[in-house]
Amino acid sequence: MLKFIVKRILWALVTIWAIISITFIIMHSIPGDPFAREGSMPEAVYQNLRSFYNLDEPLYVQYGLYLKQIAQFDFGPSLKSNTLTVNDYIANGFPVSLQLGAQALILAVCLGLILGVIAAVNRNKWPDYFAMVLAIIGISVPSFILATFLINFLAVEWRLFPVATWQTMKHTVLPTISLAMLPMAYIARLMRSSMLEVLNQDYMITAKSKGLNKGFILIKYGLRNAILPVVTVLGIITANLVTGSFIVEHIFGVPGIGELFVKGIFNRDYPVILGSTIFYSIILIFLILIVDIAYTWIDPRIKVTGESK
């Protein structure tokens, strides 16, 4: 078990290293010089950049120093501000993104599981059709479209919610729904098929033959087994949430890291783009690591062998 965890952590570090290297390569293959001193760039920013990226050194030294700085969680200065660093931006944006992401994940998982179970138990009846239509809509409608539809109807036309920005809990409702819809649909579909498979298992009949209550059987025998495949995809779902948050935060003007990233793209603020990419990747890999370890804890069959499959 311990060996498995150590192996997974090492693997995560390799992946993070690969991502940092890729960002370095991307930085140096951007057409033109990303750090060319444009007219608008203040002298101080330019000097900061030169010293952070060690542009006077040979490329391999630059790479080594870059790795070292990232390892110390120093993402360098921003192109657009001479007072705020990328670290400052991330520090400001992260709590917001974390709240939005957590809200959306909880909503997606809870609703997805419930819909999936309801659909499976009422297979080929109207609750099943209802849940699956909802799931197909969730998968077919991209988040930016859903978000703009929600703004148009719930915020602009009916004025139920504020159009944008991030202040009270009420402001978080529409972004959370927009972000949660796709993973929710995904989980609902997965949970349905997983639950259907479990319902056909022999141990479900064993449970029934013991005279146990239907609800008890559904939870202890059904849910407990059917949830396993859902746990394995939680990593992918989180990745979906992360990338989905770029769009959603941008549309709703949520001051998180996603919006930071998108603004970075619009402003061609490369240090911001790279910094938020690396930060996101680290968070994501860390989350997937947790999911993997959690899985071994939930599925007793894995604990003994210590292998992932």
Binding site for other proteins (CB under 8 A): 14-15, 18-19, 22-23, 26, 29-31, 136-137, 139-142, 144-145, 148-149, 151-152, 156, 193, 200-203, 205-213, 220-221, 224-225, 228, 239, 242-243, 246-247, 250-251, 262, 265-266, 270, 273, 277, 280-281, 284-285, 288, 298-301, 304
Written as six digits, the tokens of 25 are 């390569």
Q: Pick between residue 3 and residue 301 the one whose CB is nearest to other proteins.
A: 301
Q: How far is the CB of 284 from other proteins (least distance, A)?
A: 6
Q: How far is the CB of 153 from other proteins (least distance, A)?
A: 9
CB contact set of 291 (below 8 Å; sequence gap of 6+)? 231, 232, 234, 235, 238
Q: Pick between residue 83 and residue 257 the one whose CB is nearest to other proteins.
A: 257
Q: How far is the CB of 137 from other proteins (least distance, A)?
A: 8
Q: What amino acid occupies position 24?
A: F
Q: How far is the CB of 103 from other proteins (least distance, A)?
A: 20
Closest C-alpha among 272, 271, 270 to residue 259: 272
Q: Pick between residue 168 and residue 209 the one whose CB is nearest to other proteins.
A: 209
Distance CA 163, CA 11 (A): 43
Cβ proximity of 289 and 239 under 8 Å: no
Distance CA 291, CA 228 (A): 11
Q: What angle do CA 240, 246, 251 make, to 5 degrees?
A: 125
Q: How far is the CB of 58 from other proteins (least distance, A)?
A: 22
CA distances from 7 to 19, 281, 286, 292 (A): 19, 19, 14, 12
Q: What angle do CA 63, 67, 69 make, to 5 degrees?
A: 115
Written as six digits, the tokens of 89 are 């931006």
Q: Pick between residue 44 and residue 145 the one whose CB is nearest to other proteins.
A: 145
Cβ proximity of 194 and 116 under 8 Å: yes
Q: Pick between residue 31 and residue 39 the one whose CB is nearest to other proteins.
A: 31
Q: Pick between residue 41 and residue 212 the one whose CB is nearest to other proteins.
A: 212
Q: How far is the CB of 250 from other proteins (least distance, A)?
A: 8
Q: How far is the CB of 280 from other proteins (least distance, A)?
A: 7
Q: Pick between residue 51 and residue 308 the one whose CB is nearest to other proteins.
A: 308
Q: How far is the CB of 82 from other proteins (least distance, A)?
A: 23
Q: What amino acid occupies position 169?
A: M
Exposed/middle/buried for residue 38 (C-beta within 10 Å: 0-12, 13-18, 19+) = exposed
Q: H or E element: which one contains 3?
A: helix 2-29
- DSSP letter, residue 156: I
Q: Pick between residue 18 and residue 44 the one whose CB is nearest to other proteins.
A: 18
